[in-house]
Every structure is written in structure tokens, then in C-alpha cells.
């Protein structure tokens, strides 16, 4: 599918809004269990919720949205659930490609793709290509992603460049490593939201979120609405971010 050459709309400028929001979409399984349904029922409901939040981003002034879809630890779940999630990812990409492209959304995937099946990888690559000229919302989907794994992979690539002479080891500092991370083209998240009442970061964007603001909310992901998203974005504007400095 060729990129749409038409001019793209611009994200609304909202003073004090988070430019980049990252979301740990938790609670799909519990949401389904509460309704007497299998866990995959909740994952399908959660996938539908993604579209609503993506569509809400421009009015909130959010240019970048990163969502945690499948972690490196999620392979430990039952074979039925893992297979169902992989099928859901393939179905979601196939169904949403045209809508995302036409809505001005640019999609990127982060994580280690080597363990994913070839069909899913092709769909991911095709979606990235089809939306590569968009810029209204930058949607990043983390699949087979873990923060520790990402840093380990980045360090491995950095070490290879040092060994080959491409990189001077004396020039390696905290500005160097981010260039090797999966998120090297993205700004660090301003706000990280975790749904479902759990208060932990679960190995998500460990390096990038060093100075992010956090919101841990009780809402299960399939119940997370654009209205609640908007309230959290608005509340972010009232936070004081000093990045380790002292107010003078």
C-alpha cells in the first residue's frame, strides 16, 4: 500500500500537555474474567480501545503515543493465550492499516522481532512503510519488548561498533547509548500511565522513563476512555518537573 501523498493535519497545540504519553495497557484478562469470559475476550476488547485513545491524541496535544502490547515475559503465559494474542496482532494490523494511514497516524514497532512469526513481521513492516509519511500522531507499539532486553541489545550493538573501530570507547556516555535503543527516533515519554491498579513499571521503557511522570489508575484497560485520558493529560499540565534541579 502506497503512502498517502495528501497534506497531513497538524496536532493541536495544548499548553502544558504531555508531548509523549506511554501506556501500560493492563487489566484485559481481569476485565474478561469479571464477565465470565475467557482472557482473550478481554484482549480483543482492549485492542478496540486502542483506536479510541489514538483518535483522542490530537485534541490533547499528544504527538507521540507508545503502548505496551506484549512483553518479553508474556511468553510465559499459556500457549493458548500467546497464540491468541499473536493472531490478534495479525488481525489488528490487517484491519487497521488503511484507517491508521488515512487518519495521519505513523506506526512504529519496538522490541525484538526475531521470535515473532514471519507473517506477523511482514505485516508490521508493511504497516510501518504504509504510514511512514504520516505525522499527526506517532504510534509506537511494543511487541516482544522488555526494557532490560532493549538495553542489552543496544549495548551489544554499541560493543560491536567499538570492536570494529566505528566508535571510540572514550566517547561513550549517557548520550551515546540512546542512539542504539529501539526508541532512538522518539522523545522520552513525559507521562506514563498504567491501568488496572497495579503500581509497577513491568520492565517498560526503563532508560527512557527516568524522569517521566507516572499515573497508576484503577481502571481496567478495556474501560479506559478518551475522557479519562483527557483528564490525565490535563492534570499533567499542573505538575512541576525539575529533572533533578532545585527551584530557585
- Please give the Cα distance from 35 to 32 (Å, whole number): 5
Contacts of 118 (CB under 8 A, 6+ apart): none
User: Which residue's entry shows cell 509497577?
Assistant: 200
In sequence order, what are the beta bridge partners of 141?
67, 109
Among residues 26, 149, 182, 190, the one annotated as catalytic is 26
Length of the chain: 248
Question: What sections of 144-218 are H helices per DSSP?
Answer: 147-163
In angstroms, the CA 225 to CA 48 distance is: 11
> How many angstroms separate the first and last alpha carbons of the chain?
54
Measured CA to CA, the distance from residue 106 to residue 97 in angstroms comes to: 10
The burial of 5, by beta-carbon neighbours within 10 Å (0-12 exposed, 13-18 middle, 19 or more buried), is given as: exposed
Any alpha helices (H) in 103-134, and if so which ranges?
118-130
Strands, E, within the chain: which ranges?
20-24, 64-71, 105-110, 137-145, 191-194, 213-216
> Is 74 marked active-site?
yes
Q: Which is catalytic among the residues 4, 59, 74, 223?
A: 74
Q: Annotated active-site positions, please?
A: 26, 74
Amino acid at each position: 500500500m502506497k503512502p498517502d501523498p495528501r497534506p497531513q493535519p497538524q496536532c493541536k497545540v495544548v499548553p502544558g500537555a504531555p508531548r509523549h504519553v506511554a501506556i501500560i495497557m493492563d487489566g484485559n484478562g481481569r476485565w474478561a474474567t469479571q464477565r465470565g469470559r475467557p482472557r482473550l475476550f478481554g484482549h480483543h476488547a482492549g485492542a478496540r480501545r486502542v483506536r479510541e485513545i489514538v483518535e483522542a491524541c490530537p485534541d490533547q496535544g499528544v504527538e507521540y503515543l507508545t503502548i505496551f502490547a506484549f512483553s518479553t515475559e508474556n511468553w510465559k503465559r499459556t500457549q493458548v493465550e500467546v497464540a491468541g494474542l499473536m493472531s490478534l496482532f495479525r488481525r489488528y494490523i490487517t484491519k487497521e492499516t488503511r484507517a491508521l494511514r488515512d487518519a495521519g497516524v505513523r506506526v512504529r514497532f519496538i522490541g525484538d522481532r526475531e521470535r515473532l512469526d514471519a507473517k506477523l513481521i511482514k505485516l508490521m513492516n508493511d504497516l510501518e512503510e504504509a504510514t511512514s509519511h504520516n505525522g499527526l500522531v506517532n504510534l509506537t507499539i511494543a511487541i516482544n519488548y522488555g526494557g532490560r532486553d532493549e538495553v542489552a541489545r543496544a549495548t551489544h550493538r554499541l560493543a560491536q561498533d567499538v570492536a570494529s573501530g566505528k566508535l571510540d570507547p572514550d566517547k561513550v556516555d549517557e548520550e551515546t547509548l540512546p542512539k542504539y535503543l529501539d526508541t532512538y527516533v522518539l522523545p522520552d515519554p513525559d507521562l506514563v500511565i498504567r491501568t488496572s491498579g497495579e503500581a509497577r513499571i513491568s520492565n517498560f521503557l526503563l532508560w527512557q522513563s527516568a524522569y517521566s511522570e507516572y499515573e497508576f489508575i484503577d481502571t481496567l484497560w478495556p474501560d479506559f476512555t478518551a475522557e479519562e485520558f483527557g483528564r490525565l493529560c490535563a492534570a499533567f499540565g499542573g505538575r512541576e518537573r525539575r529533572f533533578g534541579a532545585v527551584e530557585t
